[in-house]
Homo-oligomer: A and B are copies of this chain.
Amino acid sequence: MTKARIAVLAAIDGAEEPLSASGVAARANCDCDQATVYRALHHLETAGFAESFVLNCSEHGTERYYVSAKGPHRHWFHCEGCHRFVDLGACRIGGLVADLESELGLRVTRHTMYLSGLCAECSARSAPRAGAH
């Protein structure tokens, strides 16, 4: 492992939410070039240390986000208000994916699932006392 890859891996392993390439570059404890960050992320994903998904958010545009591959595969919610991610916990669609695979004769090597909208906080802030006293 090179210094750059170690720093990039530490950044995503230590993050509590998915990070974009620029987010990784900002948090990584190294002054590596952005090309190096991209190459390191690609390498880490290929090597099984990271997972990624492409998400579009009205404010941040379309970017690829990376998460650590430690622990069980999980999914995320992205808040369009505060732009934070909420962990949806371990994947719950393994059964559905397996069903679709056998129903349609597919060989699924990857699935992407994420939700977006407003998190509890932003939801309360934008629609105060909905049903409250």
Contact = CB atoms under 8 A, between A and B. Distances in A.
Contacts of A114: 111-112
Interface residues of A, number: 32
Contact of A80 (B86, B96, B104, B109): B109
Contacts of A110: 115-117
Interface stretch (A6-14, A22-30, A31-39, A118-126): A118-126
A133 interface: no
Interface of A: 54-56, 62, 64, 77, 80, 86, 88, 92-93, 96-97, 100, 104-120, 123
20 contacts: A54-B54, A54-B55, A54-B62, A56-B64, A62-B62, A77-B104, A92-B96, A104-B120, A105-B119, A105-B120, A106-B115, A106-B118, A106-B120, A108-B117, A110-B117, A111-B113, A111-B114, A112-B113, A112-B114, A112-B115
